[in-house]
Amino acid sequence: ASPPASSWSSKSAGINGSLRRDIVGLLLPHYTRPHTEILTVPQSGTKTVPSQYFIIADGAQSEFRRKLNLRMEGETLFYNQAWYFRAPDLAKLFARTQLSSMTFFLNEDCYGDILIPQTAEGHWLYHVTPMPEGVEADDWPTFRNMLYRSIGEEFEVFEPQGRYFGSQVRLAASFNFGRALLIGDAAHLTSPFGGFGMNMGIGDAVDAGWKIAAILQGWGGPRLLETYTLERRDVCKYIIEGAAHNNKVSGKALVRPYMEEDSERGEKAREEVREFIIREKTQQSRSFGAQFGYRYTSSPIVVGDGTELPPLQYGEYTPSSVAGCRAPHLWLSEGNSIYDHFGPDFCLLKLDPAVDTTALEAAAAEVGIPLKVFLLDSDEARSLYERKLVLIRPDQHVAWRGNAEPDDCRWLVDVVRGAASFH
Ligand SMILES: Cc1cc2nc3c(=O)[nH]c(=O)nc-3n(C[C@H](O)[C@H](O)[C@H](O)COP(=O)(O)OP(=O)(O)OC[C@H]3O[C@@H](n4cnc5c(N)ncnc54)[C@H](O)[C@@H]3O)c2cc1C
């Protein structure tokens, strides 16, 4: 898709807000040295921050990703238009129906439009996806008429500010570049259909965070950081492709002739749309598989036991303790989550008090891995986790599981900390 000719409403300079652009330079010549210096320009003046690693999290346009020549791969599906405005009386028009966090309008004119309340003072966000053919991005009167058509009547609108944005399916070829890590929109761009952009960024930060901490604490191995791309890129790709599907089955894809008619054929058309929405769009709102079910099973720092995995489904989540999956959740009592017992480091979940774990604990201590042993004598947990021992990483994904310590505990701890080598 090509970007619309005009991007901003002629009546405004864009959505208000002060974007920070403090960091003005990166001393790239120092990049190959153990310390990288980052120049910042806070209000007080120029400052140099010596850093061993740097996280590039400067958003979709990522200046620093470009400086490192890390390119995005993929495509722009569509361009969409968003309008932000104040309409104090609009909420009252929802008196006959329910005001939801998002209202999707569907009618035969099919603008693919969505209305999202923003503040109690009557601010709203109005999205039209994709950008209608032949309509200029700054043509507020046309968009306002679409909104009136969808709402069913006219109302006063103040201070409209518009901008377009792309529904993107893009990933950086690599999320790592030496000691630089791309995180969030700097690494991947997705269609907002499903609400996964920030989610993925937080997932990236969790994955990168424990690995950088491990290296700085001295127990992370030399290969640990490169697993960041190996683990996160495939997960983000899966989620982004699902969001692209959600976006494609919107707007015109949902329209059927006569769907607004008060007749038998109108009723039939609405029934068809209903079935289509349930089949194709449920995963947009019910995305438990994409949220909890993604797994790092092909990562070189998890050790599988050959068990078949539950299918990865965008909408449905099947808890599993197979290595690479998120450790299944369990409430131990009211308000007492199993996760709260794992702690911030590696955790060895011991579900049988009789199993010996001294060799594994000693191997972890030898290489400095902080390891908590959490003894849980619970039939429910044993049945959920299917093994007596489960080694859980700081990000709550399973690194290994078994019914007894492995023969070579030192090999296991080296693999999970990214330090496996040939002997
Ligand atoms: C319409 C729409 C709806 C969305 N809805 C959802 C949703 O429901 N759920 C969800 O999870 N995600 C959603 N997203 C996506 C989400 O907003 C983004 O994925 C998320 O904001 C990305 O976070 P980020 O920190 O990577 O980048 P950004 O939020 O872009 O933050 C980057 C920051 O870096 C700063 N910066 C840039 N350059 C410099 C510099 N040189 N020096 C200092 N600072 C700098 C910028 O000022 C900015 O503050 C939506 C996106 C859109 C467009």
DSSP 36-83: EEEEE--TT--EEEEES-EEE---TT-HHHHHTT--EEEEEEEEEEEE
Ligand 1 pocket check for 187: Cβ under 6 Å: no
| Residue closest to 201 by CA, chosen among 213, 186, 183 | 183
The pair of three-digit structure tokens given for residue 186, joined into one six-digit string: 């700097």
Ligand 1 pocket check for 166: Cβ under 6 Å: no
Q: From CA 83, how far away is CA 140, in angstroms rounded?
A: 8
pLDDT digits (tens, 9 = 90+) for 331-390: 999 999 999 999 999 999 999 999 999 999 999 999 999 999 999 999 999 999 999 999
The pair of three-digit structure tokens given for residue 327, joined into one six-digit string: 């450790």
Instruction: Tell me the average pLDDT across 85-104.
Output: 88
Ligand 1 pocket check for 192: Cβ under 6 Å: yes
Q: Please give the pLDDT value at position 14.
A: 37
Q: From CA 305, how far away is CA 398, in angstroms rounded?
A: 12
- Select from 7, 16, 20, 68 the residue to mutate for testing ligand 1; criterion: most ligand atoms less than 8 Å from CB: 20
Q: Which residues contact 242 (CB under 8 A, 6 or more apart)?
A: 194, 283, 287, 290, 314
CA 88 from centre of chain = 33
59 Cα to the center of ligand 1, angstroms: 5
Residue 19 pLDDT > 60: no
Q: In the chain, where are the structural domains located?
A: 75-168, 255-285, 296-416
Q: Please give the pLDDT value at position 46.
A: 61
Atom 34 of ligand 1 has which residue's CA nearest to it? 58
Ligand 1 pocket check for 419: Cβ under 6 Å: no
**ipTM computed for the complex:** 0.97
Residue 28 pLDDT > 60: no
How do strand 54-56 and strand 180-182 relate by DSSP bridges? parallel
Residues 394 and 210: beta-carbon distance below 8 Å: yes
Ligand 1 pocket check for 101: Cβ under 6 Å: no
Ligand 1 pocket check for 209: Cβ under 6 Å: no
Element of type H or E holding 171:
strand 158-172
pLDDT digits (tens, 9 = 90+) for 172-227: 999 999 889 999 999 999 998 989 999 999 999 999 999 999 999 999 999 999 99
Ligand 1 pocket check for 57: Cβ under 6 Å: yes
Instruction: Tell me the average pLDDT across 20-46.
Output: 53
The pair of three-digit structure tokens given for residue 215, joined into one six-digit string: 């290296």
Mean pLDDT (the chain) is: 89
The amino acid occupying position 114 is I
With the CA atoms of 342, 345, 349 and 355 taken in that order, what torsion angle do they form, in degrees rounded to the nearest 10?
A: -140
Ligand 1 pocket check for 64: Cβ under 6 Å: no
The pair of three-digit structure tokens given for residue 21, joined into one six-digit string: 């652009």
Atom 11 of ligand 1 has which residue's CA nearest to it? 198
Any idea which residue has 């700097």 for tokens?
186
pLDDT digits (tens, 9 = 90+) for 289-310: 999 999 999 999 999 999 999 9
Any idea which residue has 């959740």 for tokens?
329
CATH architecture, range 296-416: 3-Layer(aba) Sandwich (3.40)
60 Cα to the center of ligand 1, angstroms: 7
Q: From CA 32, how far away is CA 332, in angstroms rounded?
A: 48
186 Cα to the center of ligand 1, angstroms: 9
Q: Please give the pLDDT value at position 29.
A: 43
What is the CATH number assigned to the segment(s) 75-168?
3.30.9.10
